Amino acid sequence: MESTGVYWKSPFAALEAVGITAWVVNARHVKAVPGRKTDMADAQWLATLARAGLLRASFIPPLLMRQLRLVARQRQKLVGMCSAEKNRLLKVLVDAGIRINVVVADIHGASARAMVKALIADKPMHEVLDCKGRLRASREELFEALSTEQFSDGTASWPKRSCSTSSRSSSASHGWTRGCCRA
């Protein structure tokens, strides 16, 4: 069969499921046919070339490898989405005057996330600073970095959605990783 876009995948999978060995060949071999191009003419030309041994089958990985590739691609997309969402969250926080990235090495670590969630929940500053965990920065440095003069209710609504989206993407990518490791 001729490989044209993704249209060959369904028939190939159906033939593979019933045990028929099908070849997927490059469409350039068919372009040499003079005259009108129809599916019937293409099929006849491919059959003629195959009988003469002039076709070479494209590499189609085994089913398990195709499934593993699908899982790996999906996980890669989810990790990228998660990173983009985390970067957007940092930008909103910096625009609001919260410079947590100055005092925290990993702004997506447990302590930093807990402090951001406490800020979003509009908790008093002493409760926000209690989320410090094992950070090296002193409470005074954190207090200065987390000053919330520009952090209003309108500003807090976006990071709240961003945090939930980021955590969903992160947990989904971890699920894909577990599925990938099992395969």
Residue 96 near residue 151, CB atoms below 8 Å: yes
Give the pLDDT confidence of 27-81 residue by residue, as tens digits.
Answer: 776 666 566 677 788 788 888 888 888 888 889 999 999 999 999 999 999 989 8
Q: What is the pTM of this model?
A: 0.62
The pLDDT tens digits for 84-100 are: 888 888 888 888 888 88
Structural domain boundaries in the chain? 9-51, 63-182
Q: Which of 20, 32, 26 is nearest to 59 (CA)?
A: 26
Taking the CA atoms of 112, 114, 119 and 124 in sequence, report the sign of the dihedral they define.
negative
Give 25's strand partners.
Answer: 2
